[in-house]
Chains A and B, each alone.
Chain A
Amino acid sequence: MLIFGERINGMYTDIGDALKAKDPKPLQFWATKQEEGGAHYLDLNSGPAIPKEERAEAYQWMVNVVQEVSELPLLLDSTNYDAIEAGLKLCKRQAIINSVDATPEKMERVFKMAADYNAGVVGLTMDKKGIPLDNDLRVAFAMELVAAADEYGLPMEDLYIDPLILPVNVAQEHALQVLEALRKIKQLADPAPRTVLGLTNVSQKSPTSICNLLNRTYLAMAIGAGLDAAIMNANDDDLVDVAATTQILLGRSIYADSYLKVFRAR
């Protein structure tokens, strides 16, 4: 189970301000803090804070300042592929492009780029028309992504399919469809593609008092259905504990009384 730390995102005011002021401190603070929490990768997203024409430069700056304090590999999270490509050039460890959907022209651009820079790819099970409700349609998009990855020689272990979870308060029926999709996606190829979710989406705009509970419960359910990675809050200790515990109950890590500590130390 891989934890992709979500916090370095321009949607948060401290990161948005830091990006504008070119102040590395908040980014480096969260890089270190998320690594301590148990993150295996760090997601970098400029958000809307930076105008389009400055994005490429902003991503290069983000990659550099984060790599100054952390050895963790990075996810470059943007819909601006020029910005991602600029960032990829500076990544010291194998990065992940976050993300591409199943639109043919986008897949061509992103999978080619992944091959050129030896990067992983997060593939979203949707196209221009939006997010499907039915799990079969999600899986059909996943198959398009799997076939494209195969065509461009991307190993299945480097493809992370995201079946797109939506907030349960407004799109409750999606939660079950995503679990079904996760099960089926693991059957598409052998070795199977990996799977990922933007976990925090499930609890968006629910009352703060139940957000954490929703995240934890859905994480356990999704891992049971075949989830390999989650973009999530790496500093919610209870949530990381859930991730660690699933690894024990699914027999992926050997049990020890101190498994919570061991999970974070890896």
Chain B
Amino acid sequence: MALTGLEIYKQLPKKNCGECGVPTCLAFAMALAAGKAALDTCPYVTDAARENLESASAPPIKAIKFGNGSVMGDETVMYRHDKTFYHETTIIIQVSDALTDDEVSAKLAEINGLEFDRVGLHYSVEGVAVVNESGDAARFAKVAAAVAAGTEKSLLLISNNPEALKAAVAPLAARKPLIGEANADNYEAVVNIGKENSVPVILKADGLDALSDLVEKAVALGYKEFVLDPGTKGTAQQLADLTQLRRLSIKKKFRTFGYPVIVFTNHENPLDEIMEASVYVCKYASAIVLKTSAKAHLLPLMALKQNLYTDPQKPIQVEEKLYAIGEVTEDSPLYITTNFSLTYYSVEGEVESTKIPSYIIPVNTEGTSVLTAYAAGKYEPELIWETMQKLGVPDILKHKNVIIPGYVAVVTAKLKEISGWNVIVGPRESSGIVAFAKTLK
């Protein structure tokens, strides 16, 4: 990201001495912005200014990695339609060390069981947070060890007691847990634990002013692996704070807030809690720590997250397979379309309303529509026949009739020739399918 002339000018000494070979600081700033001069030719530029200028060209939000492949931050836009959101929100379920050993292992078993397969995709929860609610350092370390032994997931260790954190982190450092929380009172000790173990640290303060103070103090300790926690509060205020954090780091290059954000849910009722978490998934939280671990609560949240982090520039595709609409038999008609989801679902909706049980094959055209695919040579008769054979259609159906989209009627002869099937040209628009289906005997 190139710096603007004004940003550079503000960091210069404004002496207009001309020693850099350019008459004024303003003109020098412009030469720097245009890449026609080097900052080193100014003898009066301060170290702070140099660092500001260097860091201004870094990405607006730092990427923080922890645990088992969890990546947070490294985002560049406020709205996904401007480009895309890159790193999915890390979903973490909390386990209190005030639970009994049996309760801890039951909770852990439930968390490990949060695996979902839906529409060809697999979702699972990324992390487990061990929270020091017992107030007992030894108990915290013991539960942390038990959780670490019971799951492969990324770990989060939460205590405001540096001694407890230290004891729990040391044996688990290789798992690279995210630790916290560092607050205004304990930040020195907690940040140092993070530094010694090379693990990222959560900085927590209530409100943005306090958070910005804390980040500046923590950075001064010579460490930069941070995740920000703007405190637990009502959803409306949290939404406002999350928006400010993202906006300031991206739009204003406010380095102090250039870190990913973690939030802890506030609601006790799990249904409310999931609604709350849904807001945070949509609005910039890089990680969310939840209390509920019920499957029914997590599935909609995981689906929302997956949906939101889909790249909007890439066409959405459906899986290439034989779809059965209704109570199909070996006599049911077979429709061919493409795997572009808009195309497929238009066809599916119409086929469904014919009330005739039918098969549909969305041929893999890399997510392009019928005409786009045809124009790009991705909808050739050979490919259609190959796909029909691959999906075992000749064994499943008793008849040998296949219906193709009206816009690609031109492939009829060739498809007939290579397959030996009877090729029926359907209507051009899927809206014609209902009327067309009545003409099928």
Give the B-binding residues of A (Cβ under 8 A).
139-140, 143-144, 146-147, 150, 187-190, 192
Contact = CB atoms under 8 A, between A and B. Distances in A.
Contacts of A144: 26
Contacts of A143: 5-6, 9, 26-27, 29-30
Contacts, number: 36
A188 B10 CA distance: 12
A189 B6 CA distance: 5
Contacts of A189: 4-7
A189 B8 CA distance: 10
A73 to B, nearest CB: 26
Interface string B1-31: 0101111011000000000000000110110
Classify the interface of chain B: helix, strand, loop or mixed: helix
A192 B33 CA distance: 14
Given A150-B6, A188-B6, A189-B5, A139 B30 contact: yes
18 contacts: A139-B30, A143-B5, A143-B6, A143-B26, A146-B6, A147-B26, A150-B6, A187-B33, A188-B4, A188-B5, A188-B30, A188-B33, A189-B4, A189-B5, A189-B7, A190-B4, A190-B7, A192-B4
Contacts of A140: 26-27, 30
Contacts of B7: 189-190
A252 to B, nearest CB: 13
B179 to A, nearest CB: 35
Given A140-B27, A147-B9, 20 more contacts: A140-B26, A140-B30, A143-B6, A143-B26, A143-B27, A143-B29, A143-B30, A144-B26, A146-B5, A146-B6, A147-B26, A187-B4, A187-B5, A187-B33, A188-B4, A188-B5, A188-B30, A189-B5, A189-B7, A190-B6
Nearest to B27: A140
A189 B26 CA distance: 13
Interface of B: 2, 4-7, 9-10, 26-27, 29-30, 33
A140 B26 CA distance: 8
A84 B128 CA distance: 65
Contacts of A139: 30
Nearest to A187: B4
A192 B5 CA distance: 11
Nearest to A186: B4
Given A140-B30, A187-B33, A147 B6 contact: yes
Nearest to A193: B6
A188 B32 CA distance: 11
Nearest to B30: A143
B6 to A, nearest CB: 4
Which 3 pairs from chain A and chain B are nearest by CB?
Answer: A189-B6, A188-B5, A189-B4
Contacts of B4: 187-190, 192
Contact of A187 (B2, B9, B10, B29): B2
A113 to B, nearest CB: 22
A140 B22 CA distance: 12
Nearest to A191: B251
Contacts of A192: 4
A7 to B, nearest CB: 35
A144 B7 CA distance: 13
Nearest to B252: A190
Contacts of B29: 143
Residue of B5, B7, B10, B33 most packed against chain A (CB within 10 A): B5
Nearest to B25: A147
A144 B5 CA distance: 10
Nearest to A139: B30
A205 to B, nearest CB: 35
B332 to A, nearest CB: 41
A80 B217 CA distance: 52
A150 B5 CA distance: 12
Contacts of A147: 6, 9, 26
A146 B27 CA distance: 12
Nearest to A184: B34
Nearest to A190: B4
A146 B26 CA distance: 10
Nearest to B9: A147
Residue of B6, B27, B29, B33 most packed against chain A (CB within 10 A): B6
